[in-house]
Chains A and B, each alone.
Chain A
Amino acid sequence: MALEFEQPIDELEARIRELREYAEEQGVDLSDEIELLENKLERLQKETFSNLSRWQRVQLARAPGRPTTLDVLENVFSDFVELHGDRAVADDPAIVAGLARFEGRSVVVAGHQKGRTTKENIHRNFGMPHPEGYRKAMRMMDLADRFGFPFISLIDTPGAYPGISAEERGQAWVIAQSIQRMGRLRVPALAVILGEGGSGGALAIGVGNRVLIMENAWYSVISPESCAAILWRDAAQAAEAAEALKLTARDLKELGVVDRIVPEPRGGAHRQPQAALAELRRAIAAELEPLLKLSPEELLRDRYRRFREMGAVAQS
């Protein structure tokens, strides 16, 4: 399951394991050899992960085993009660939502959900919501406003689903409405980009007072593959498109689109999910705290100011 650029590291790790086992079984001292290899591993890891290309980050953002919304709900929050359905058409498994507790405080959470297995992924539609999913998310925003609870969104989608049924039921309309609804929240709103931040399908629940992003997540107007297919007329140019789109956490911080990067353990969150989730908990706590002191009007103004300033123009 290792990503291509992870393979040399995995192989070296396997060799060290083997040597250790052999040394133990045979009762011989191979500590010098093992130390040598461990140093080599350390160097290799440093080399690989300190010079990740943007395309490699995109692959890490998609790595199987990376924490999903449900993992966050289980480990960062407590008492999660899932709430289903959009009260109109259906329940969309590509978005999970409900009530939970964060550091003792009631909150409302909604996030994209991908599956781990093929079967799960088909059920979750690979984290690509239909209009019903966004309607469910908007219901959650209503709920947060009604009770004055903070609203926290978890973003991890390749994009909103581009299909006939989604178009028939107004995919563009619900995304616009969800952006508007979240912009109007009178409670603190945090958005966390966990993995993939695919375009409007991500932004629909991304209108936070603060936006956080995991170190290896991406956020862009279009996926590198689709961008390459359109601008280069060749989806195989995705690596080049990823470079051009400047879609990594660091790029986004520089552009002012995200407020905080949540560091991941070396090698990515999928290698040590618990450590990654602990960092996420600290980051959410730190960003939520100052917002809790703001009045509904201050929160609205703060959010408008944040998004009103977005963009770069040559002259005004």
Chain B
Amino acid sequence: MALDRLFRRRRTRGGGRDVPELWLKCPACEAQIYKKDLEANLMVCPECGHHLRMSVEQRVAMLVDEGSFEQTTGSVKPADPLSFSDTEPYAERLRRYQEKTGRSDAIYGGTCTIGGVPALLLVMDYAFAGGSMGSAVGEELARGAEQAAAQGRAFVTVAASGGARMQESVLSLMQMAKTTMALDRLWEKRLPYVSILTDPTTGGVTASFAALGDVILAEPGALIGFAGPRVIKQTIRQDLPEGFQRSEFLLQHGMLDQVVPRAELRQRLIQVLSLLHPEGAASGA
């Protein structure tokens, strides 16, 4: 293994200028990994098992039944209601993220079946403004929950977010109430909501819909919490304990149902959904 790694490293350095994007360095063990291998392994480091962030398209593909996905997101476009500007106007930032991701805002998803169970799956895109939740993301989530309730679908979210979006100020804060209250449409119909937390999920997203799954699953090693580690460190002026705010820590403290490795996530989700939504499992297949 060590020799293999050495070769990989050398090859990267040799061809680094021409094809740097073919190789990735694992942020945990620093192994150089061929990007295609990493993608085939669901962006989990084959050397150390570290879960890297994955694209939302790949996330959807790994969770849904093949050929069942129909995108519902994208028609809701973000606005700049406060004409917000810090070191860069918010409208400019939005344009930049839209260009970079090809998405109107930080969320992607649609209707699908998962192990035969009809579902509505929404995935937050950390690559778009840190997955932050403004009015458009909140609107997509609320519509998603409402549509799932109206169509008898299970609701599944995959969170990856720095929290509520600062550039829409109090309107972003209100999305926490809006998304939370929209979940009750599912409650009324006895439809399940499964929340999957991935690295990182913090702030107003953790403190609203994402913490309210009937079942909450998390990927290994994901940073999950209310305040970010930097803010906490500044407040208490001492170092944070090892493993603080990671999935395993939260499981220990009773905040999660299970920590599930990515390779097993689809199977676990199918199990949970078919138990919580047996009629759906029977009709959707």
Q: Which residues of A contact B (CB under 8 A)?
A: 160-164, 166-173, 175-177, 179-180, 183-184, 199-200, 203-204, 206-207, 219-222, 226-227, 230-232, 241, 244-247, 251-252, 255, 257, 303-304, 307-308, 310-316
Q: Could you tell me if A245 and B241 are in contact, using CB atoms closer than 8 angstroms?
A: no
Q: Could you tell me if B86 and A232 are in contact, using CB atoms closer than 8 angstroms?
A: yes
Q: Is B38 in contact with chain A by the CB < 8 A criterion?
A: no
CB distance from B124 to the nearest CB of A (A): 15
Report which of A221, A251, A257, A311 forms a contact with B139, defined as CB distance below 8 A.
A311
Known: A170-B255, A176-B208, A244-B82. A183 touches B170 (CB 8 A): no
Q: Could you tell me if B204 and A221 are in contact, using CB atoms closer than 8 angstroms?
A: yes
Known: A180-B180, A180-B181, A232-B87. A313 touches B170 (CB 8 A): no
In B174-222, the 8 Å CB interface with A consists of 174-178, 180-184, 202-204, 206-212
CB distance from B76 to the nearest CB of A (A): 5
Q: Could you tell me if B253 and A310 are in contact, using CB atoms closer than 8 angstroms?
A: no
Cβ–Cβ < 8 Å partners of B184 in chain A: 180, 183-184, 304
Q: Could you tell me if A176 and B180 are in contact, using CB atoms closer than 8 angstroms?
A: yes
- Most chain A C-beta atoms within 10 Å of own C-beta, residue among B75, B134, B177, B254: B177
Report which of A163, A177, A307 forms a contact with B235, defined as CB distance below 8 A.
A163
Q: Could you tell me if B166 and A219 are in contact, using CB atoms closer than 8 angstroms?
A: no
Report which of B165, B171, B180, B254 forms a contact with A312, defined as CB distance below 8 A.
B171
CB closest chain-B residue, reference A226: B231
Bound complex: CA of A176 vs CA of B79, how far in Å? 26
Known: A177-B212, A231-B87. A304 touches B173 (CB 8 A): no
Cβ–Cβ < 8 Å partners of B176 in chain A: 176, 179, 200, 203
- Most chain B C-beta atoms within 10 Å of own C-beta, residue among A164, A232, A252: A164
Q: Could you tell me if B227 and A171 are in contact, using CB atoms closer than 8 angstroms?
A: yes
CB closest chain-B residue, reference A182: B177
Bound complex: CA of A222 vs CA of B176, how far in Å? 13
What does the 1/0 interface line of B225-245 toward A look like (CB < 8 Å)?
111000110011000110011
Q: Could you tell me if B177 and A310 are in contact, using CB atoms closer than 8 angstroms?
A: yes
List 9 extra interface pairs beyond A172-B206, A232-B86, CB under 8 A: A164-B240, A171-B226, A221-B169, A246-B82, A303-B181, A310-B178, A313-B78, A314-B77, A315-B75
Count of A-B contacts with CB under 8 A?
A: 192
Cβ–Cβ < 8 Å partners of A199 in chain B: 164, 173, 204
Q: Is B136 in contact with chain A by the CB < 8 A criterion?
A: yes
Q: Could you tell me if B86 and A231 are in contact, using CB atoms closer than 8 angstroms?
A: yes
CB distance from B74 to the nearest CB of A (A): 10
Bound complex: CA of A180 vs CA of B170, how far in Å? 18
Q: Could you tell me if B166 and A227 are in contact, using CB atoms closer than 8 angstroms?
A: yes
Could you give 24 example pairs across A and B, Cβ below 8 Å? A162-B232, A173-B207, A176-B206, A176-B208, A180-B181, A183-B177, A184-B184, A200-B164, A203-B177, A204-B207, A220-B173, A221-B168, A221-B173, A222-B169, A244-B84, A244-B85, A245-B166, A255-B81, A304-B184, A307-B178, A311-B178, A312-B135, A313-B136, A314-B136
Bound complex: CA of A303 vs CA of B81, how far in Å? 23
- Most chain B C-beta atoms within 10 Å of own C-beta, residue among A161, A166, A221: A221
In B49-101, the 8 Å CB interface with A consists of 75-79, 81-82, 84-87
Q: Which residues of B contact A (CB under 8 A)?
A: 75-79, 81-82, 84-87, 134-136, 138-139, 142, 164-166, 168-178, 180-184, 202-204, 206-212, 225-227, 231-232, 235-236, 240-241, 244-245, 253-255
Known: A221-B204, A308-B142. A164 touches B169 (CB 8 A): no
Cβ–Cβ < 8 Å partners of B253 in chain A: 168-170
Q: Could you tell me if B170 and A200 are in contact, using CB atoms closer than 8 angstroms?
A: no
Bound complex: CA of A255 vs CA of B204, how far in Å? 20
Cβ–Cβ < 8 Å partners of B138 in chain A: 310-311
Q: Could you tell me if A176 and B178 are in contact, using CB atoms closer than 8 angstroms?
A: no
Bound complex: CA of A121 vs CA of B235, how far in Å? 16
Cβ–Cβ < 8 Å partners of A177 in chain B: 211-212
- Most chain A C-beta atoms within 10 Å of own C-beta, residue among B81, B176, B209, B232: B176
Known: A232-B86, A255-B81. A311 touches B175 (CB 8 A): yes
CB closest chain-A residue, reference B165: A221
Cβ–Cβ < 8 Å partners of A311 in chain B: 134-136, 138-139, 168, 171, 174-175, 178
Known: A171-B227, A255-B81, A308-B182. A176 touches B170 (CB 8 A): no
Report which of B134, B171, B177, B232 forms a contact with A255, defined as CB distance below 8 A.
B171
Q: Could you tell me if A257 and B174 are in contact, using CB atoms closer than 8 angstroms?
A: yes
CB distance from A197 to the nearest CB of B (A): 8
CB closest chain-A residue, reference B202: A172
Cβ–Cβ < 8 Å partners of A313 in chain B: 76-79, 135-136, 139
Bound complex: CA of A161 vs CA of B207, how far in Å? 13
CB distance from A20 to the nearest CB of B (A): 45
